[in-house]
């Protein structure tokens, strides 16, 4: 009866791909949950990804392209409390703190640099952690901080993936992340030292400590609902990258062998002919090598023959196929990965970048801005409140991702101008698209227009004084009236 039931289920399956067959024999498809799926693979994935980024040119290029497109020169934060006076106070303190090394606990870079390193680490290993390190008022004065807060960027390795437990109060810990009984994150269990940093001398055993969740920013791109830890953005590209590397190494060896163009001369009468450089292997055997351009003598009939190694151009197509697979798996375009612009034009480059930019926009607005930028802004406000720089810690701010360089500035600018003129895009939206904040743009325009007016300077770019044709507005008006007449 069980056998009949199994046969009946086989024929009742609606999808051909779900039916067992010789074609998919050995295809292992476990129904593991997201926590198990990631937990059993996270260490191997990030270690292999790091090795490729260290030693593989394409892997390094992928990380560079993704982080530079996501972060660029940094995601800009602008105070937006509704009060110009408060905004000036907040923005001045924010710029002093985020635009310098004050915000970095290591004192190396500014907030844009922290964003850049975080994006690179998340792309390479799948996750990164930023600790909010609040300082005392005395420490802030000693360090010269605008607010008593610094950010410590650490790798995901610090999060203890071996710590899993059910707690007495109904809470639980999964791969180093602690939840309460309602499923809310309440703490992270972090190692005091990097578990792989063997150069750091420590007299204590490696152990993890509990850090409250409001002091930790855990950045990762969840691929499945319920996923607790992140996986490398290269996870689907690791095998194609490895295969491409092995294939290119084989091609290099083939080219070296083909370079060994040799002549073999027979009939020299030697009882112990030498076909190249010879040496002993230490066990009575002989090891011989062939050098490019050598003439080698072999006992036998008197004739001369030439080595004729085979050659094929099929490797060009196969290499490009590997590169395309790697680009698709990692979410970049072929030209971004390889630098090959053969046959590319404005339309193909623009079309190829649309999907990449849409993906970057998704990550910026669903992960980086709410998950990092807003969290850092809230921590900044809270730190300022602690030292009475302002009386609230819930002021709003707007965040602007970096703009994209235009592929063809003349065409792209004309299209942007037309979109504004017909009302399908607002001027503030266009400014943000270029990576600037509308408020800062207005302040800059007003400031420098006043300077130009004071100095009696008229630029072609000033629409108050000149038309698009380069005429003064008075001349353009007279010419327009004459044309209408």
Please give the pLDDT value at position 424.
86
Residue 433 corresponds to which tokens in the numbers above? 């698209």
Given a contact cutoff of 8 angstroms between Cβ atoms, the answer to whether 369 and 376 are in contact is no
**Residue position matching structure tokens 């109904």:** 170
What is the three-class DSSP state of 354?
helix
First-residue to last-residue Cα distance in the chain? 97
CA nearest neighbour of 93 among 390, 386, 402: 390
295 forms beta bridges with 263
pLDDT of the chain, 485 residues: tens digit per residue:
888 877 766 665 567 777 777 777 888 888 889 999 998 899 999 999 999 999 999 999 999 999 999 999 999 999 999 898 999 999 999 999 999 999 999 999 999 999 999 999 999 999 999 999 999 989 999 999 999 999 999 999 999 999 999 999 999 999 999 999 999 999 999 999 888 887 655 556 788 999 999 999 999 999 999 999 999 999 999 999 998 888 888 888 877 777 766 655 555 555 555 555 666 767 766 666 666 656 555 555 456 565 566 666 677 778 888 899 999 999 899 889 988 888 788 778 888 888 888 899 999 999 999 999 999 999 999 999 999 999 999 999 999 999 887 777 888 888 888 888 888 888 888 888 888 888 888 888 888 888 888 888 887 777 777 766 666 666 555 454 444 44
Please give the pLDDT value at position 482.
46
Given a contact cutoff of 8 angstroms between Cβ atoms, the answer to whether 445 and 456 are in contact is no
* C-alpha–C-alpha distance, residues 301 and 283, integer Å: 31
**Residue position matching structure tokens 């940093």:** 197
Kind of pairing, strands 295-298 and 263-266?
A: parallel
Please give the pLDDT value at position 269.
54
Please give the pLDDT value at position 297.
57
pLDDT in tens, 35-86: 999 988 999 999 999 999 999 999 999 999 999 999 999 999 999 998 989 9
DSSP annotation of 423 = T
Please give the pLDDT value at position 484.
45
What is the three-class DSSP state of 293?
coil
Kind of pairing, strands 172-174 and 165-166?
A: antiparallel
CA nearest neighbour of 289 among 266, 262, 313: 262
Please give the pLDDT value at position 483.
47
Given a contact cutoff of 8 angstroms between Cβ atoms, the answer to whether 361 and 432 are in contact is no
C-alpha dihedral, 17 to 20 to 26 to 31, nearest 10°: 70
Given a contact cutoff of 8 angstroms between Cβ atoms, the answer to whether 243 and 52 are in contact is no
- All residues at 6 or more sequence positions from 108 whose CB lies less than 8 Å from its CB, including other chains: 101
Given a contact cutoff of 8 angstroms between Cβ atoms, the answer to whether 189 and 156 are in contact is no
The upper half-sphere exposure of residue 50, i.e. CA atoms within 13 Å in the direction of its Cβ, equals: 15
| Residue 19 CB neighbour total at 10 angstroms | 13
**Residue position matching structure tokens 């437990």:** 165
* Rg, the chain, Cα only: 32
CA max distance for the chain: 110
Please give the pLDDT value at position 272.
54
- Helix 111-125 / helix 42-55 crossing angle, nearest 10 deg: 110
Backbone angles phi, psi at 475, to 5 degrees: -65, -40
Given a contact cutoff of 8 angstroms between Cβ atoms, the answer to whether 76 and 112 are in contact is no
185 forms beta bridges with 179
């Amino acid at each position: 009866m069980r056998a009949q039931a199994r046969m009946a289920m086989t024929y009742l399956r609606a999808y051909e791909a779900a039916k067992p067959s010789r074609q998919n024999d050995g295809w292992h498809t476990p129904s593991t949950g997201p926590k198990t799926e990631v937990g059993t693979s996270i260490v191997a994935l990030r270690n292999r990804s790091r090795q490729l980024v260290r030693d593989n040119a394409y892997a390094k290029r992928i990380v560079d392209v993704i982080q530079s497109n996501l972060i660029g020169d940094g995601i800009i934060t602008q105070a937006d409390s509704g009060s110009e006076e408060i905004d000036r106070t907040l923005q001045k303190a924010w710029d002093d703190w985020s635009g310098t090394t004050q915000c970095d606990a290591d004192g190396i870079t500014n907030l844009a640099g922290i964003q850049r390193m975080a994006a690179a680490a998340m792309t390479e290993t799948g996750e990164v952690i930023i600790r909010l390190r609040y300082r005392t008022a005395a420490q802030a004065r000693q360090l010269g901080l605008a607010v008593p807060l610094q950010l410590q960027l650490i790798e995901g390795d610090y999060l203890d993936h071996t710590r899993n437990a059910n707690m007495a109060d109904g809470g639980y810990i999964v791969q180093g992340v602690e939840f309460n009984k309602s499923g809310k994150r309440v703490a992270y269990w972090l190692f005091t030292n990097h578990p792989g940093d063997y150069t750091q001398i420590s007299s204590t055993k490696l152990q993890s400590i509990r850090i409250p969740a409001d002091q930790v920013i855990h950045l990762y791109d969840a691929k499945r609902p319920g996923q607790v830890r992140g996986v490398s953005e290269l996870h689907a590209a690791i095998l194609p990258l490895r295969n491409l590397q092995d294939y290119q190494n084989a091609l290099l060896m083939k080219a070296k062998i083909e370079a060994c163009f040799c002549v073999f001369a027979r009939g020299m009468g030697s009882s112990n002919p030498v076909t190249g450089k010879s040496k002993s292997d230490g066990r009575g055997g002989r090891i011989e090598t062939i050098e490019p351009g050598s003439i080698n003598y072999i006992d036998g009939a008197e004739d001369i023959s030439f080595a004729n190694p085979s050659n094929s151009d099929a490797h060009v197509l196969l290499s490009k196929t590997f590169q395309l697979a790697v680009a698709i798996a990692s979410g970049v375009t072929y030209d971004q990965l390889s630098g090959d612009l053969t046959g590319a034009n404005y339309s193909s480059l623009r079309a190829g970048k649309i999907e990449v930019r849409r993906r970057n926009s998704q990550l910026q607005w669903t992960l980086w801005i709410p998950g990092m930028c807003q969290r850092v802004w809230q921590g900044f406000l809270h730190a300022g409140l602690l030292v009475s720089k302002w009386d609230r810690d819930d002021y709003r701010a707007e965040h602007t991702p970096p703009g994209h360089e235009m592929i063809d500035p003349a065409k792209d600018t004309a299209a942007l101008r037309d979109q504004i003129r017909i009302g399908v895009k607002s001027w503030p939206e266009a400014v943000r698209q270029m990576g600037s904040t509308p408020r800062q743009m207005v302040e800059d325009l007003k400031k420098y227009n006043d300077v130009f007016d004071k100095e009696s300077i008229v630029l072609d770019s000033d629409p108050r004084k000149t038309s698009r044709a380069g005429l003064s507005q008075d001349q353009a008006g007279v010419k327009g009236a004459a044309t209408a007449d």
